Amino acid sequence: MLFGRLRDVFQTLRFRLMLWVTLVVSLITLAALLTVHQFVYNTLLNEFDQRLKDDIGEVASSIRQNPIGPDLHHALNVKARNHSLRGWFVQLYDADHNLIWATDDAPNIKHALLYSDRLMALEEGPLRIVQSRFEPPSRPAVIIRLGSTMESVIEDIDLLNWIMILAGASILILAPVVGYLLAGRALRPLAWIIATTARLQPKKLDERLPVRGTGDELDQLSRTINGMLDRIAAHLGSSNDFIANAAHELRSPLAAIRSSVEVALDRLRTPDEYAALLVDVADETSRLGNLVNRLLLLAEGDAGRLEGADQTAQLDGIVRESVEMFGAVAESVGVEIEIAQLDRASVPGDDFHLRQVVRNLLDNAIKFTPPEGRVHVSLQADVSHEMATLVVRDTGIGIPPEDLPRIFERFYRVDKSRQRQSGTGLGLAICHAIVNALGGSIHVESVQGKGSAFTVVLPMQRSVEGKSGSSAAA
Ligand code: ADP
């Protein structure tokens, strides 16, 4: 239990950040302390050596003034006793390195340094020694060796060591504590994000993560998650609207069928009356079937099943065939329909779906164009950019500018009173879903009272494309 809790704590980001902070601070502190220690030690030693070298200079000038004899011995012994450096001593050697004289209590040192004539300092156990060759005028050369115990330096270094150990230990204790507190403070917004995200429910997506306005990574994370929540909420909202609208649209043909059946059952009727009622039922059933098919198509689009990437459709054939099919309808309402340009274009996609796109656009164009109006269709293949552009242009009633941005939404219909025939408001949404799934785009330009132009751009199949340049009128 306790072990489990500890393991949970060890796994936290806070704990790991604390460890990193402690590690980095400890390494930096260790390096800094070692550098300072070395620097202070060198400085103390240099000062110590400098004092000994100054003393050598003084002894040399005494030798220059007095010959080596009792007076000099006395003076140097007094100096040795009163010197501020503990264990200070002088030894004088002749040029052959034989000891001539030494102050009282001078240690007996046998060392290679003796054979060097340069001014140099050396550590000899607890002693620091300097030595120099001196040639007094018109007298034989003397080697002056001078030294002292290093106790004062060692004491200073010991004190420095203690201070450093205390400083290091305090930093080692404080680093994890401060690191843990700082990490907790830095990660507090993350805890809010986790708590708020845990509270979110699919049915209640109105809560958003707090943005503190600092612009740091955690604010960016909150903004990103909020953006994602906005998109999910919008998606859920439109799905709910879609279901509600679909139910609503399904209800009217069902109600019509039910009422026709009820009228038929109400009393005995003539065969002609039954026939008329059955025709109504058949009409409503086909409307219902049509609606269900459209809804299924949109559902397929939502499920990402409209891609049809492994199939190829001959778009020019579909356009020609659809225009021919709508020719009679157009003629019956006094609208002229013609193909202005028809390039050969094969596009990746399913025949059935592409037919839906072309037919929806033609159907709308004829539906919303008054008699004596015209519908122009053109299909242009841009081989260099591998793009096929289909334009369906009419001289119809046009679409008000305020409706244009919503025209491809599901169930969206411009003022229903304009509708000459009943519509579901799904045709353009289906076109949009299919074209998007095929990697293309669809857009509309429209001037109210003058007409509309729907443009579909689709990527072409990479195979050979030729321009037939044909034009046809239906
Ligand atoms: P429906 O399937 O009911 O025709 P659409 O999604 O195809 O619905 O069209 C949505 C709305 O866009 C229609 O209600 C209509 O008002 C408007 N619209 C579509 N095409 C045209 C057009 N060529 N001219 C004018 N209005 C159009």
Q: Domain containing 37 — which CATH number?
A: 3.30.450
User: What pLDDT is attached to residue 188?
Assistant: 85
78 CA to middle of ligand 1, Å? Answer: 121
User: What pLDDT is attached to residue 452?
Assistant: 97
User: What pLDDT is attached to residue 121?
Assistant: 60
Query: Which of the listed residues 376, 392, 417, 428 should we mutate to test ligand 1's pocket, taking the one with most ligand atoms within 8 A of CB?
Result: 428
Q: Considering the domain boundaries, does residue 316 fall inside one? A: yes
Shared domain for 154 and 223, answered yes or no, is no
Contact by Cβ (8 Å): 437, 357: no
β-strands 120-124, 127-134 pairing: antiparallel
Shared domain for 336 and 408, answered yes or no, is yes
Domain that holds residue 291: 217-302
Shared domain for 275 and 383, answered yes or no, is no
Query: Which of the listed residues 293, 337, 364 should we mutate to test ligand 1's pocket, taking the one with most ligand atoms within 8 A of CB?
Result: 364
Contact by Cβ (8 Å): 260, 280: yes
Residue nearest to atom 7 of ligand 1 (CA): 427
Shared domain for 230 and 99, answered yes or no, is no
CA distances from 286 to 249, 282, 290 (A): 14, 6, 6
Q: What is the b/e burial string over 201-235, where b = at least 16 CB atoms within 10 angstroms of the residue's CB? A: eeeeeeebbeeeeeeeebbeebeebeeebeeeeee
User: What pLDDT is attached to residue 318?
Assistant: 97
Query: Which of the listed residues 294, 410, 413, 420 should we mutate to test ligand 1's pocket, taking the one with most ligand atoms within 8 A of CB?
Result: 413
285 CA to middle of ligand 1, Å? Answer: 23
Shared domain for 316 and 271, answered yes or no, is no
Of 148, 172, 196, the last residue of a domain is 172
CA distances from 300 to 27, 309, 437, 441 (A): 61, 15, 10, 18
Q: How far apart are the first and last CA of the chain?
A: 83
Shared domain for 294 and 322, answered yes or no, is no
Shared domain for 30 and 142, answered yes or no, is yes
Shared domain for 240 and 361, answered yes or no, is no
> In whole angstroms, what is the distance from residue 335 CA to residue 332 CA?
8
Q: Considering the domain boundaries, does residue 95 fall inside one? A: yes
Q: Considering the domain boundaries, does residue 75 fall inside one? A: yes
Tell which residue, 185, 243, 245, 237, has the closest CA to residue 214: 185
418 CA: nearest ligand 1 atom: 16
Shared domain for 168 and 150, answered yes or no, is yes
426 CA to middle of ligand 1, Å? Answer: 9
Q: Considering the domain boundaries, does residue 194 fall inside one? A: no
> In whole angstroms, what is the distance from residue 391 CA to residue 317 CA?
15
Burial class (CB in 10 A: 0-12, 13-18, 19+), 323: buried
Q: Considering the domain boundaries, does residue 385 fall inside one? A: yes
396 CA: nearest ligand 1 atom: 24
Shared domain for 289 and 416, answered yes or no, is no
User: What pLDDT is attached to residue 393?
Assistant: 97
Shared domain for 328 and 462, answered yes or no, is yes
429 CA to middle of ligand 1, Å? Answer: 10
422 CA: nearest ligand 1 atom: 3
Burial class (CB in 10 A: 0-12, 13-18, 19+), 269: middle
Residue nearest to atom 8 of ligand 1 (CA): 425
Tens digits of residue pLDDT in 212-251: 888 888 889 889 999 999 999 888 888 888 889 899 889 9
Of 267, 302, 337, the last residue of a domain is 302
Q: Which residues line ligand 1 (CB under 6 A)?
A: 360, 364-365, 368, 394, 396-399, 407, 412-414, 418, 423-429, 452
Per-residue pLDDT of the chain (474 residues; tens, 9 = 90+): 677 777 777 888 888 999 999 999 999 999 999 999 999 989 998 898 888 889 999 999 888 888 888 888 898 899 888 888 888 999 998 888 888 889 988 887 765 465 555 555 666 667 888 888 888 888 888 889 888 988 888 888 899 999 999 999 999 999 999 999 998 888 888 888 888 888 888 777 788 888 888 888 888 988 999 999 999 988 888 888 888 989 988 998 999 999 999 999 999 999 999 999 999 999 999 999 999 999 999 988 888 888 766 789 999 999 999 999 999 999 999 999 999 999 999 999 889 999 999 999 999 999 999 999 999 999 999 988 899 999 999 999 999 999 999 999 988 888 755 554 467 889 999 999 999 999 999 999 999 999 999 999 999 987 544 444 333 333
Q: Considering the domain boundaries, does residue 179 fall inside one? A: no
Contact by Cβ (8 Å): 354, 347: yes
Residue nearest to atom 20 of ligand 1 (CA): 364
449 CA to middle of ligand 1, Å? Answer: 14
Residue nearest to atom 1 of ligand 1 (CA): 425
User: What pLDDT is attached to residue 471?
Assistant: 33
Of 111, 144, 172, the last residue of a domain is 172
Q: Considering the domain boundaries, does residue 131 fall inside one? A: yes
Q: Considering the domain boundaries, does residue 106 fall inside one? A: yes
What CATH number is associated with residue 253? Answer: 1.10.287.130
Q: Token pair 């019956």 is at which residue?
A: 332
Number of structural domains in the chain: 3
